[in-house]
Structure 1
């Protein structure tokens, strides 16, 4: 069965490792047939002053050229040019030009910030104790629904319940929040990813959770798989486990964007 990952990173961000070529070669060695390289799109200095969580704007064209060169070098793997674009909502301070993202075949829509607070940053975990999981979970899903309902050019909604990363859970049943997220996704016509990295955080389960993933499946939301690798050695981590999780949730195929803007399906066996 084909292996794909639609969410990967490189050393173009300060918290990643490896070059584009190293990432691609690791994917080829793991028999991956399609890889999207989705570096964190540049944030402003006000949001990311040290360019730690996003790629410096000065390196954007170099990054694009690197991915294009890898495609020229390797004809035995489909390489998609992508980026991971943070949703900042009313706090957005970047100005995007018309067609700025047209060259990207995959644009991951991500929520890493709740009212400019990077809730998944280990250095800022104390805010969880100050505010409490209940309030943060409610606000996160409000922001996530705003993100998926926006007019930004997102191809795939990444790690839908990233808010659980550190293992902080609400005191209430999150199912109403899940259903709001699913409804917003259906209305937007967008797809989601099963992100395998969650199995290696404190939450100890993929993003999204089995319950949320099953809700997406019942609503007919297409789903792909991403490893969120920030190191070439992790490029294929848990892809097959991710396929099994999709099957258990009711999915029978993995959806994969293509270079021509279309979609194809891989049957889960």
Structure 2
């Protein structure tokens, strides 16, 4: 079956490894037909003082040029110029104009910050251990996620929808109403979601989203794609076929794939 990944990173961000060329070469060698390179869009120094979390603003031009060069050198694989853009809610301190995002044919929407706190950063996870923290953080995370998906930001795909589970801290209440609300909001927005295979390698030990949430997205008619969230070329195609199987088990019969032209195509999932 055709292999695609629409969420990948490189050394343009401080926590990634490998060049664009190395990432694309690894994807091509693995038989990938479509890859979206989606480097983290620049954050302000207030959020990312040492350029660890995201690509430095002064390197965006270099990043775009590297993708153009890779596309010219690898005509046999579709390479989409993308970025992963953080939703910061009321804490947003960047002025991002439409022209700033125009070069990116795929924009992933992500919530990595809860009220300016990077809740999924292993170095700043102490707050999770406070009494009742999981209840508060999960509720706030899904509030922000629904705000993001309903916003005017030009997000094409909402990535790792239940990232709050990364460290395997779970709330005391039933999360099903959160899942239903997220699916309804995403369906109303017309945006896509992804199955993100990286979750299997964190403490939660399952892909993003959880099967129960993925089933809600399917019931709501939300298109779904697959991304590995690779931060090194070696992981570029990790568990893509397992993601297809998860999608099938949750009711999907096609994988929706963004294209370099800005539209979508579909791959039939083989049971």
SS at match of 1:45: coil
Q: Which runs of 5+ in 2 are unaligned?
A: none
TM-score by length of 2: 0.98
Q: Distance between the aligned counterparts of 1:81 and 1:120, measured in 2? A: 25
Q: CA deviation at 1:99?
A: 2.5
2:249 is aligned with 1:248: yes
Q: Distance between the aligned counterparts of 1:98 and 1:20, measured in 2? A: 25
Q: CA deviation at 1:98?
A: 3.0
Provide Cα deviations, 1:178-202, integer angstroms capped at 9, x if missing partner: 1111111011110100000001110
Provide Cα deviations, 1:162-220, integer angstroms capped at 9, x if missing partner: 00000001111100011111111011110100000001110011100000000100111
Q: Distance between the aligned counterparts of 2:27 and 2:90, measured in 1? A: 38
2:238 is aligned with 1:237: yes
TM-score by length of 1: 0.99
Following superposition of structure 1 onto structure 2, how do residues 99-178 of structure 1 map, counting pairs within 5 Å? 99-130=99-130, 132-178=133-179
Following superposition of structure 1 onto structure 2, how do residues 1-269 of structure 1 map, counting pairs within 5 Å? 1-130=1-130, 132-269=133-270
Instruction: Count the aligned residue pairs.
Output: 269
The runs of at least 4 aligned residues of structure 1 exceeding 3 Å deviation read none
CA RMSD, Structure 1 to Structure 2 (Å): 0.7
Q: Distance between the aligned counterparts of 1:68 and 1:223, measured in 2? A: 27
Provide Cα deviations, 1:34-84, integer angstroms capped at 9, x if missing partner: 000000000000111011000011111000000011001001100000000
Q: Which runs of 5+ in 1 are unaligned?
A: none
Q: CA deviation at 1:259?
A: 1.5
SS at match of 2:249: helix
Q: CA deviation at 1:105?
A: 1.1
